[in-house]
Structure 1
Amino acid sequence: MQRLLDQAAILLLCLVGAYFTTGLGTEIVAAMLTAVCAAMLATYFSIDGRKTGGRESVWISSWICLAYAAAGIFRAELLLFLPAMIYICLDEERPAFKWCWAVPAAAGLASGAADDIWIVLLLGSLAALMQYRRASFDSMRGEYRNMQDAARERSMRLEQKTRELREKQDYEVRLAMLSERNRIAREIHDNVGHLLTRCILQVKAMEVVHQGEPEIGEQLEAVRDTLTDAMNNVRNSVHDLHDDAADLGMELRSLAREFTFCPVKLSYDGGSPPREVRLCILGIVKEALSNIARHSDADRAAVTVVEHPAFYQLVIEDNGSVWETESPEGIGLENMRERVSVFHGVFRIIRDSGFRIFVTIPKEGKR
């Protein structure tokens, strides 16, 4: 758009210059119309060559300017509008195209075809200055856009790093919390649980000693029942703490690290499934990795766990050959199938370009 405005301004100034030098005769009007047509065609091919990268369009634009400048040798009025061609040529990068107008224009001016050389030189200099201003503006605009893109890219990288740090921090906090729960569960089990067990055994021993004393026996029985209830409550609390502290993602990562037969790529986005589902997925993964080590010649494996709105999905795959020693009704695969059937899930095997196990376990309300 800026090119068109600049060329319109240059042509208007050329027309004003021609009016004050030679007047607006028929030849001047015809020269102006010729210059407008040539400028429009040259501009079109020049822009097209920049967009598409085609050299043919640039050649056509340069030849139009060259032909116009050469025609000025024979028609002096055409040279009065030569600054419009100068503006177009100076926009090219290659020197041959940039200065193609200079030789015929100089020949035309030197031959005396144009009596008012000063107006052509003045407007040509103005066209060169306008082209330089536009090129500088485009360069500054390009640099500004590059700076915007770089700033946006840095902002995206910063947001990604911040998100990764936040996720890592949340993971470390959860890991510390789970470790503390496990420690508390162990402390209760090892200390309080053992003390209660010893107390129960001691009360039972006292009941044997005082079998002939009903009153004391009833009191000891009440104490034993109370200690048994306390023991059951402690056991349930320990189990609840251990279940809350268990994290499926952490356990799968531990399995992947400890599996030495081949590298295992783990992709986990399974959330926090219920205890029964967690144990089912763990059992299937352990059995599958064991089968890979025993029956496959794979050099890499992958485990993927994804939580969907209605079900949990587990995919285990390797790039080894088919497990020939593990039949479709083998014990390991049958155990996996039975685990999934408890939840009314889907268990599917694909033996193509490796070995794949697809498991789908519906959520509680979707079964």
Structure 2
Amino acid sequence: MRKSKELLLLRYLSFFILIIQMFSNEVKVKGLVFILLFLINNNIRLFYLKSDLKISLSIIIEFLCIPIACLNLGGNIIFCLIGIVIDLFSLKNKIIKNIFIFIILVMSISPILAKGTENGIINLLVIGVLFILLNYIQKLYDTKLKSQKLYDKLRISEEKLIEANKELEGYLISIEELTLLKERNRISREIHDSVGHALSTAMIQLSAMEAVAKKENSTLEIMAKNLRDFINESFQDVKRAVREIKPEEYHSYEGIFRIQEVCRNFEKMTGVKIKETISKGEWGLNSKQTSHLYRITQEILSNSLRHGKADRIRVIMNFTEDEFIISFKDNGIGIENIEEKGLGLKNIRERIEELGGSVFMESKLNEGFFVKIIVPREREV
């Protein structure tokens, strides 16, 4: 507040008037020295001093020098006090602030320093009006600061909301794509197992009919052969269609689907609500990583129910360029200190270390259990 343009103008205007008053009393050298020191002290306090203690020491120095200057060099004391009055509103300690206000009032109405009782009353009125204006300005400034802080919080919240919305959109797209992959794989498998099997059986039967007709020199031999060839062509068409429907990248996410299967089976068997969030990546887990993470997921879900008494678990799976990150957060009873004495937690850490990854565990009483696992991407040599 005290660095605002208006208050700076008021401060330096009082210095200018003080200079004119002192120079009119023919004490030019002494007055110039005092004004320079006074100005330096004011500017140091204004621009460099932050703590209440340092600002208070600077004000005390001026309190000691102002009476001497006014008695020997002239000048109205009110113009010496304006800088101090403005700076009082930066003090946080109310006791020190009230003491300084009392000293200012005493100095401004002092008949000796004010050079008369009438001047003292005028000084008191001026100081009073100045305090009222500064108090009003301080309230406006505080309101502005609160509004700015509120605006900053809202802006940050909006940015976080936008970021969260983008992440959610990414997760939704990933879920849609992974669901589509699973459905395409299921359809291709169903066609292969049903239509493909039926056509294959028909071809075998027609081959047998063709052999019997050939022995009996029946005209059905040619018909059976033509029909078998036709079905064989249809069978090849079905196989091509199955290959086209079956997604090539499905195998890259078989590990994710296995972990997802563990979660859903656990939910069905125990009634614990498991919410999964999956982010699709550009690479997949290999068989070793899948096997270890499968067992780890089983262990963590089991611990959440058995030890944590949780009824809700959040599972987040995310691929980055170089890492696969999976985290588990339950709403169980938690624990104050995590001690990896049991085989379960030891096995989790051993499996992750075997994959070259890392595991982070965190828990507090009544705040559930959190596990974060990072598995590095295995690059092809």
Same fold, TM exceeding 0.5? yes
- The alpha carbon displacement at 1:32 in A equals 5.4
Quick check: 1:267–1:303 contact (8 Å CA) kept in 2?
A: yes
Are positions 1:273 and 2:283 aligned together? yes
Change (3 A) 1:31 1:268: same
* Structure-1 residue corresponding to 2:60: 63
- The alpha carbon displacement at 1:320 in A equals 4.1
Quick check: 2:192–2:242 contact (8 Å CA) kept in 1?
A: yes
Alignment of 1:127-276 (within 5 A): 135=138, 138-139=141-142, 142-143=145-146, 145-146=148-149, 148-178=151-181, 180-182=183-185, 184-185=187-188, 188-189=191-192, 191-212=194-215, 213=217, 215=222, 218-219=225-226, 222-223=229-230, 225-230=232-237, 232-233=239-240, 236-237=243-244, 239-240=246-247, 243=250, 248-256=255-263, 258-259=265-266, 271-273=281-283
Identity %: 14
Q: Distance in 2 between matches of 1:66 and 1:249?
A: 75
Quick check: 1:31–1:77 contact (8 Å CA) kept in 2?
A: yes
Change (3 A) 1:162 1:39: same
Q: Which runs of 5+ in 2 are unaligned?
A: 90-96, 329-337, 362-371
Change (3 A) 1:145 1:30: farther
Q: Which runs of 5+ in 1 are unaligned?
A: 328-332, 338-345
Are positions 1:282 and 2:290 aligned together? yes
Quick check: 2:281–2:318 contact (8 Å CA) kept in 1?
A: no
- The alpha carbon displacement at 1:170 in A equals 1.7
Are positions 1:85 and 2:81 aligned together? yes
TM-score, normalised to structure 1, is 0.63
Corresponding residue to 1:12 among 3, 12, 16:
16
What code does the residue aligned with 1:25 have? E
Change (3 A) 1:348 1:176: closer
Q: Distance in 2 between matches of 1:147 and 1:289?
A: 42
CA-to-aligned-CA distance 1:285-305 (integer Å, 9 cap, x gap):
2345568899xxx96999977
Change (3 A) 1:136 1:84: farther
Report which stretch shifted further, 92-101 or 248-257: 248-257
* Structure-2 residue corresponding to 1:34: 34
What code does the residue aligned with 2:160 have? R
2:88 match: secondary structure:
coil
Change (3 A) 1:134 1:323: closer
- The alpha carbon displacement at 1:90 in A equals 4.0
Q: Distance in 1 between matches of 2:360 and 2:19?
A: 78
CA-to-aligned-CA distance 1:25-47 (integer Å, 9 cap, x gap):
11x65345424423532553466
* Structure-2 residue corresponding to 1:25: 26
- Structure 1 vs Structure 2 CA RMSD: 5.4
2:103 match: secondary structure:
coil
TM-score, normalised to structure 2, is 0.62
CA-to-aligned-CA distance 1:196-228 (integer Å, 9 cap, x gap):
244224313423432424655654653464355
Q: Distance in 2 between matches of 1:352 and 1:245?
A: 26
Q: Distance in 2 between matches of 1:152 and 1:358?
A: 32
Change (3 A) 1:139 1:293: closer
- The alpha carbon displacement at 1:12 in A equals 0.7
